[in-house]
Amino acid sequence: MAKPEPFPREAFSAFQTITTRWKDNDVYGHVNNVTYYAWFDSAVNRYLIEEGGLDIHNSPVIAFVVSSNCQYFTPVAYPEPVEAGLRIERLGRSSVTYGVGIFRPGDDTPCAQGEFVHVFVDRETQASVPMPEPIRAALASLPTG
């Protein structure tokens, strides 16, 4: 299976700076693969909180991660800062597929990129429900793939 081509920086928006930590490095001297998934999760949820008005403690509708993947292009190592950019691959009624790019500041090509799928559910019943309109509006403002 061929590795997908990385999307350029211009295909993403809503960039957030992430500070790598000493514990992110693995024995091989670069940031371990699992850390990228934490970056994806943080970038997406921060966007939902800040731009979509998600109240992670009290909203009746919350989002569950149901799928994620990542392709790695260039290793990153502590103490490098990185930037996570977002895009929308698919915006459905109750789900969204985000594209997330991890970039070195100023670089046009990502070090890694992946997809992150959220399904919106009722907090109590955990049944799938339509995403709240403020969140949909915030997501619709991101670039689409």
Residue 115 lies in a domain: yes
How many domains, in total, are found in the chain? 1
User: Mapping DSSP to helix (H, G, I), strand (E, B) and coil, where does residue 71 land?
Assistant: strand
Residue 126 lies in a domain: yes
Please provide the average confidence, as pLDDT, over all residues in the chain. 96
Is the pLDDT reported for residue 60 higher than 90?
yes
- In this structure, what CATH number is given to the domain that contains residue 82? 3.10.129.10
User: Mapping DSSP to helix (H, G, I), strand (E, B) and coil, where does residue 128 land?
Assistant: strand
| Beta strand segments in 28-80, E | 61-72
pLDDT in tens, 89-114: 999 999 999 999 999 999 999 999 99
Q: What is the pTM of this model?
A: 0.94
Q: Give one word for 14, left, alpha or beta, with left for phi > 0 and alpha for psi -120 to 50.
A: left
Is the dihedral angle over the CA atoms 144, 75, 82, 26 positive or is it negative? Answer: positive
* CB distance 131 to 120 below 8 Å: yes
Residue 2 lies in a domain: no
What would the mean pLDDT of 55-81 be, rounded to a whole number? 97
Residue 114 lies in a domain: yes
Residue 145 lies in a domain: no
What's the CA gap between 11 and 144, in Å, rounded? 8
Question: Would you state the structure tokens that stand for residue 105, as one six-digit string?
Answer: 């500041």
What's the CA gap between 17 and 44, in Å, rounded? 13
Residue 3 lies in a domain: no
Range of the domain at 59: 9-140
Residue 1 lies in a domain: no
Residue 86 lies in a domain: yes
* CB distance 6 to 113 below 8 Å: yes
What would the mean pLDDT of 58-63 be, rounded to a whole number? 97
Q: Kind and range of the H or E element at 89?
A: strand 81-91
Pairing of strands 81-91, 95-103: antiparallel
- Which pLDDT does position 1 carry in this prediction? 64
